[in-house]
Structure 1
Amino acid sequence: MLNIDGIDLRSRFFIGTALYDSPELMERSIEASEAQVVTLSLRRATAQSKQYALQHWLQNKRESLHLLPNTAGCHSAKEAINMAILSRELLKTHWIKLEVIGNDYNLQPDPFQLVDAAKELTEQGFKVFPYCTDDLVLCERLIDVGCDILMPWGAPIGTGQGLMNPYALKQIRKHFHKIPLVIDAGIGRPSHAAQAMEMGYDAVLLNSAVAKSMDPITMAKAFKHSIEAGRLAYEAGCMEQQETAHASTPDIAKPFWHSEPL
């Protein structure tokens, strides 16, 4: 069970709502994922609510789903803060996935604006889920200003590259062993999600890998199972890699099998 902000979550799969071919497909994919945290762009919700009432559908699922509005598309702390305040008023949640983009080429977060926005929003009572890079110092600064959850990227948004820098991600997990950590962005395959969970990450957030697949409903199920498998493997303790071969059956006390009964 994952506890976020006093809420116990059975699922460690956080899923997005963009890029689906239809609202019906989005709804069925989310249901198939069994995710309990759903991200939502406020700009998208308000612009398209008349077409298929995305916001209304999500609100009707409030008993089983927790909304995580995001500040996607914001390029400054001021813009992100204003978007967060508006989302709290409209969606009735103090949770916010904080995105402050510094580079439009790879959608990398602006670390300076991100920290400034996180500081202001935590002071205003928000539960800030900061989307950041796999930079240990940046993660420390975000915690210093009041964040108690981190969302480092696996790779740039929408690339599907998986975990580009496993070493950096492992160091973040090791250093912040008491902080909930969610891999956000760059996950393209269920195996990528399983790898993140095997490292000890607490959850995975993704959107494109499901929504842009040929069969989003089936892919949502695949990610559900891979995330569960990765978590179980972490809890069980994965076998350490070794440089040399080791026989699974030792020579000493080796059993003998007889072709005939003695």
Structure 2
Amino acid sequence: MTSSQTILVTGATSGFGAALAKRLVKEGHRVIATGRRTERLTALHHTLGDALLPVTLDMTDISAIRNVPQQLPDAWRSVDVLINNAGLALGVGPAQDCDPNEWETMVHTNISGLIEITHAFLPGMIQRQQGYIISIGSTAGTYPYRGGNVYGATKAFVSQFMRNLRTDLLGTPLRVTNLEPGLCGGSEFSDVRLGDSAKAAAVYEGTAPLTPDDIAETVSWLLQLPAHMNINRIEMMPVCQASGGLSVQRTPSAS
């Protein structure tokens, strides 16, 4: 499917979302770019021109999300592709030491915001019998790690939601893909999570991680596949990463 499409990308002010917007406009698509930071969306519009429509949107504001389809200009309302990119992680401490407010923020953004905007655009896609929903999940939704707790659980939710969505849409031409990256640098993800740029940089020290452009490359490939072909999920990691296996805590033997 290579013809020009109208694509909505959430969380387009940085990282994956900005890379997606730039790549998709370059390939001839029209992109609705959403995010909380209006000034960044405006700058993206200045860079990419009128093929990009900036829409300020907070993914924790459910009423605003529900109103997005009606508030789009008429020429932009027929969204062909929804890319659920907006999401975040906060903190890396063990569950007992975490701030419940940070947990709530992750749940509201990664789960509630994602399902709400998906539901907002599904009826139109069903009516037109055309649509593709791509969510950016994470390997954290499959492989647990220390400090992953609620972030990993939100991404596991996204993975299962997308599987069930695909099942619900059986009998329609709509397609559904969950894209699950592992270690990925070049975004604000670790800066937001750790709240410290030096600590964030240390996460990627000595590695060659995935980049936002790699994510955009993968989405570009998905959009070019034949309309009858659905890729259910893609798990992708840099070659410097692999799943770590199970851990065992051993008690020191008495001497």
Question: Could you state the TM-score of these two structures normalised by the residue count of structure 2?
Answer: 0.40
Higher relative contact order (CA 8 A, sep 6+): 2
Which has the larger Rg?
1
Question: Could you state the TM-score of these two structures normalised by the residue count of structure 1?
Answer: 0.39
